[in-house]
Amino acid sequence: MKLFDRDLSWLSFNYRVLMEAMDQSVPLLERLRFIAIYSSNLDEFFRVRVANIRNIQLIDKKKINKRIDFNAQTLLEEIHSEISHQLDEYGAALKKIIEELREKNHVICMHTDEIPKQLNAQLLHYFKTKVSAFLRPIEVTNHQPLFLDNQAIYLAVELKLGKVEIVNIPTQHLSRFSSFKIGDRTYYIFLDDIIRLHLDILFPKRDIISAHSIKLNKDSDLQIDDEFAGNLVKKIEKQIQKRNLGIPSRFLFDINMSNELISKLAKKLELMPEDMITGGRYHNLNDLFQIDIKNTDCIYPSMQTVSVPQLESSRSIFESIEKQDRLLHFPYQSYDYVLQFFNEAATDPDVREINVTFYRMAKRSIIAEALISAARNGKKVAVFMEVKARFDEENNLEWARKMRAAGVKIIYSLPGLKVHAKVALVKKSDKMYGFFGTGNLNEKTSEIYCDHGLLSTNEEMTKELSEVFQHLLTRYTPPPFNQLIVSQFGAIEAFISKIDREIQHSEAGREARLIIKINNLQESRLIEKLYEAADKGVDVKLIVRSICCLIPKENLRVKRIVDRYLEHGRVFYFHNDGAQEVYLGSSDWMNRNLHRRIEVCFPILEDRMKQEILTILKFQWQDDVKGVWLSQQIENVRPVNEKNIRAQTSTFEYLRDQYG
């Protein structure tokens, strides 16, 4: 079975992000933000995926007498080749954006030579009173080890007589950019350059030859040897502290650095040739997010969320849900309804119990505060906290401590599994209210992620959700699920069964089609079944935002959408000879989701709600503005723009019409 490599497929997705930065129809500051997103994505790719391949490489070296494993080495070469091509376009795109911003009197100074002399006094004052407090130069010597923080940026300063000093750029304490107004123009100056301009103060009476930016990425995945023995939380906390000690995965350095200095640093940091990546004058350009321009011509127009009149007019969200289940679409509709669900649960005297799963929490979580209030109001509150959510471990642990101190029962990660489900259950003496989501219970990300959420009192669904929580809380083995599709409890088999049913319809001469919208597609059994379905005449439509290991073919097309909001919802549609089935859920079709996580997918039962989902899917499939086709060469191919349909805009308009 032929498949795309998952890492090369991901790079194809990140290039699609870069395409938005190059799209002249995107507002100027938003294009700059797509540059920042691309940079941030690539940085994480090196810290996790490339580091993982390098780990495999190191293990194979030990196993086979220091002979590099051919597959790992070849893949690394392909990755670096693709990234090199992308970075050429990235540099050209950034240069064009900076030029266009300059025309609008917003000047991002890309060299100290571009900084107006009128600012010298202000910059000197800022350096002396703020910046210098955080500078800790390290002399590079033969007898002392050199340690660089993961992902941090530094200046490698060459001094006379062969001396080298490493100067930290303290972006964890100070903004990366300082802005100054001169007449009609606003200048944005890198913190790096403010330090460069004043190195003579940092190194008085020493001749400075050059100062170049460097950065070291390290393996940032947590390495937990045995999740089943001992205290898992303590192991995670310990590994978080060790994140700075991972093996190198990329050393970025200014292309203008001397070969002598490059060699000296490579030797000192014990780097391999494949770790060495040439870059520009500045690194960590995800910091471009910090540039905030108020000019409305430079940003996306504001979008007014669509109200749900029945929820707005009701004094109790529970009373409204009792009358009718409510399907919500974020960010088109306000996440305030979800917050109201938790806030009311915290104060309603009839609520006895609240169960919630968290994967990635907001730093200032109103939901968590509501749960703390609920516990203090005497309700039984149990939270399953996933503390293995990469790069959110510390925030999740901190919230877990706060909630536990207030009397919330906290259950931490399951050994060998992550809990990625996005669900909550509120229990009264006579009724249960469920929240089923495709995205995290996180009010911050809900503003920029396209997700769906269902508020329901359906007895079968809430009963099965209660069984899920019983499993999480007590390791109880639930009976088979009839409504929900839950990974670790036959999810792959359930999806395969539904695809097989479409194959049977096709073989019987009936209409057969399915639409799967997910973020990532990798699981080989499901890909094989999709290939089979397409070969047997089923019309297979896939909307896959990021990784897609499946190769498109006849009857099997793949669309990728990247737009203003991050497409995050997972939708599963099966025509079923007209008895249509629609499921939403938290699960992608990746090995990790289906084999190593607890995921919950849930049915949409009401015809009205099914129609809403199918209409949104139709917009997405027809999107010829922000949608691209994935080619058999893993390329993003723009469709012929005939209908000028932009899914996110059309969804807003459709929901406004639906909800008045």
Q: Taking Cα atoms as reference points, which of 365, 442, 360, 372 lies closest to residue 404?
A: 372
Q: How far apart are CA 533 and CA 529, in angstroms?
A: 6
Give φ, ψ of 62 to 5 degrees. Answer: -65, -35
Catalytic residue among 106, 420, 471, 505: 420
Alpha-carbon distance values, 110 to 30, 48, 169, 193, 285 (Å): 19, 30, 16, 9, 12
Q: How far apart are CA 254 and CA 261, in angstroms?
A: 11
Residue type, 255: I
Task: Determine the length of the chain.
Answer: 660
Alpha-carbon distance values, 46 to 70, 221, 274, 480, 652 (Å): 20, 11, 12, 41, 36
The total of other beta-carbon atoms located within 10 Å of residue 212's CB is 21
Q: How far apart are CA 101 and CA 179, in angstroms?
A: 14
Alpha-carbon distance values, 38 to 14, 16, 646 (Å): 6, 9, 22
Enumerate the H helices of 188-286 as residue ranges. Answer: 191-196, 199-202, 232-242, 259-268
Helix axes 70-103, 6-21, angle to 10 degrees: 10
Q: How far apart are CA 21 and CA 36, in angstroms?
A: 9
What is the CA angle 61-62-66, rounded to 5?
45
- Peptide linkage before 349 cis (omega within 30 of 0): no
Give φ, ψ of 457 to 5 degrees. Answer: -115, 15
Q: Taking Cα atoms as reference points, which of 89, 86, 91, 59 lies closest to residue 72?
A: 59
Torsion over CA: 489, 495, 501, 507 (sign)? negative
Alpha-carbon distance values, 598 to 153, 168, 202, 566 (Å): 37, 42, 53, 23
Q: How far apart are CA 195 and CA 376, in angstroms?
A: 50
The most distant pair of C-alpha atoms in the chain lies apart, rounded to whole Å, by 88
Q: How far apart are CA 448 and CA 362, in angstroms?
A: 13
Residue type, 408: V
Q: How far apart are CA 204 and CA 357, in angstroms?
A: 56
Token pair in block for residue 496: 């395969």
DSSP string, 584-636: EES--BSHHHHHSEE-EEEEE-SHHHHHHHHHHHHHHHH--SSEEEEPTTS-E
H or E segment and range at residue 467: helix 459-474
Residue 503, SS3 per DSSP:
helix
Helix axes 51-63, 70-103, angle to 10 degrees: 160
Q: Taking Cα atoms as reference points, which of 336, 338, 329 lies closest to residue 652?
A: 329
The answer to pTM > 0.85 is yes
CB 236 within 8 A of CB 388: yes
420 is a catalytic site residue:
yes
10-residue mean pLDDT series, the chain (660 residues): 95 98 97 97 93 75 46 90 96 97 97 96 98 97 90 96 95 97 97 98 94 92 57 66 77 95 94 91 96 91 94 95 97 98 98 97 97 98 91 91 96 89 97 98 97 98 98 92 97 98 98 98 98 98 98 97 98 98 98 95 98 98 97 91 90 94
DSSP string, 123-171: HHHHHHHTGGGG---EE--SSS-----TT-EEEEEEEGGG-EEEEE--T
pLDDT at site 112: 95
Q: How far apart are CA 528 and CA 525, in angstroms?
A: 5
pLDDT at site 640: 77
Residue listed under structure tokens 């890492």: 7
Alpha-carbon distance values, 323 to 108, 164, 285, 414, 471 (Å): 55, 72, 50, 37, 30
pLDDT at site 67: 41
Residue listed under structure tokens 């460097």: 214
